[in-house]
A and B are shown apart, each in its own frame.
Chain A
Amino acid sequence: MNSENNRRTFLKGIGFGSVLLGTMQYGLNANDESKKAGKAPHFGMIFDQNKCVGCSDCEIACAKVNLVPVGQHRLYVDDQTNPLHVKDRRFVRISCQQCVDSPCTEVCPTNACHKDSVTNIVTMNADDCIGCKYCIVACPYDVRFINDETHAAENCNFCLGTNLADEKEPACVAACKYDALVFGNFNDNNSYMNKLLDVKDSVRMKPGYGTKPSLRYIPAIKTGV
């Protein structure tokens, strides 16, 4: 009698328990979905290697808009053309990859290097930077530098304080005559960038570091045999 009671209680417990856990699970999932619906922006950029001709208009526009000192760059276009195949010219954009798990913001001791609270873009508060260079050595892509004029560390922040504040596209994207650069919001399903990513094969630079970079590269590949 006693043992049967115990079994019954046990089964009841299992039943109620699973209902309870199920509801909790559902509740938590619903919470997740509502977060997604809230859609904090996640800005990213595509560099299409097939379209880039290496004119460096993007570099010039960037330096002009962001007041980058002469001889320094927030972005530069690397010529990777194989000297043996000069007809097959290849260029690569090198700039901040805007990682989702960004080591620079994690190591900055003064929170000068931070993610913008509205746009989530990795950017710099030059006043709070003391120039310890920790972010520079922590960056797996080696794309940060000390600005010779402000003496603070700096990176490409998609023109956050300049063009983006004026609701314009980043200077490099606006300057590109060949549409090799596309800027957009990953969390906006209607953005041209997302539509392009749906149809093109793209890769991330050095994904092995596990920092989830937000730049996508469409590599030039040989057509035919």
Chain B
Amino acid sequence: MNELINYNHGFTDGIGWHWPIAVYLLLAGISGGALIVSLAIRYYKNQSENTAVYKSAALASCGTILLGMVFLVADLTKPLVFWKILINYNVTSVMSIGVAAISLYIPLTCLIVVYAFENEIKTWFTFLTPLLDLLQKIRTIIEGATFFFAIVICAYTGFLISVLVRFPILNTSILPALFVISGLSAGTASVCIIANKFFKEDRHSSDMQILHKIEWPIMFIEIIFLTMLYVSLVVGSAFAQAGLEGFHEGTWANVFWLGVVCVGFILPLFLNFFLGKKIAHSSSAFYISAMSSIVGVLCLRMFVIYAGQIFSI
């Protein structure tokens, strides 16, 4: 930076984007993550029936992305003209690319819901049967496209804020990858909860076993990515050092160490591996560890948004 002339306080008093954006980032992550995981299981096991995991992922992804849109629009200063974002496009803007992807992704998640509850719809609304049979013919293509766009949605939320050059924590190349993997983590946890709670899927069924098993590698990769982010700031320039303080000072450092590390990582690990099989297999441990994954990812998004913006040069 130029030492001859400078200034430290601009017009926004530090924070331009507030918590609704962090919540939106979490919801978009859950939406994409849930679909990626459930479609991957479907491909891996060559399933053709609508499993409880598939149904829960369909509901979770459609619900969270729609709720996310509410947060996104509510955060605008002119929410009533939000439609202008749909008719004006700027190819250099990640947000614009994201809007294009979301406007394809939302109809796709709705179609996935229709596929997931095909039999229910057929029994309640018999007259829709021909339409559903017609849709069934393009199911492979729709599911493939949804899988692709689910990854795009998760990744775009990372790119959205990693282009912000002023903030050392945000302006890192690892952020999109971190957001994809933490989205997977929160998505897996949501699917677990919904499948068990609303579709009475047995906690030890084959699908749930898979979800339970992939949870740990996902968490491991998430920890590695966070470590990489941390180390890149430790060894970085003065600019990166300014961001590093965010991990050690202020409220958001507590949110990171207590929320992301203790609740998000240590608590589930503790419940599942250190307290014996009886507790690990109990219903409450199942719910607590799934909820703590989601809370951990929420804390991560809040930390990234707030500490990311506060600790800059």
Interface residues of A (CB under 8 A from B): 49, 73, 78, 80, 92, 94, 103, 106-112, 128-134, 136-146, 151-152, 203-209, 211, 217, 219, 221
Contacts and interface: CB of A to CB of B under 8 A. Distances in A.
B95 A107 contact: yes
B99 A137 contact: no
B130 interface: no
A209 B1 CA distance: 8
Interface stretch (B9-17, B27-35, B274-282, B291-299): B9-17
Contacts of A206: 1-2, 6
Contacts of B140: none
A208 B166 CA distance: 11
Contacts of B165: 103, 138, 140, 209, 211
The residue among A78, A137, A146 with the most chain B CB atoms within 10 A of its own CB is A137
Interface residues of B, number: 38
Contacts of B4: 203, 217, 219, 221
A106 B92 contact: yes
Contacts of B84: 110, 112, 128, 130
Given A78-B7, A107-B92, A152-B78, 6 more contacts: A132-B76, A137-B16, A140-B166, A145-B11, A151-B77, A204-B2
9 A-B pairs with least C-beta separation = A142-B10, A131-B77, A110-B88, A137-B16, A109-B96, A109-B95, A219-B4, A136-B16, A151-B77
A144 B11 CA distance: 6
A52 B12 CA distance: 25
Nearest to A135: B16
B253 to A, nearest CB: 21
Nearest to B237: A208
B262 to A, nearest CB: 29
B163 A138 contact: yes
A138 B312 CA distance: 13
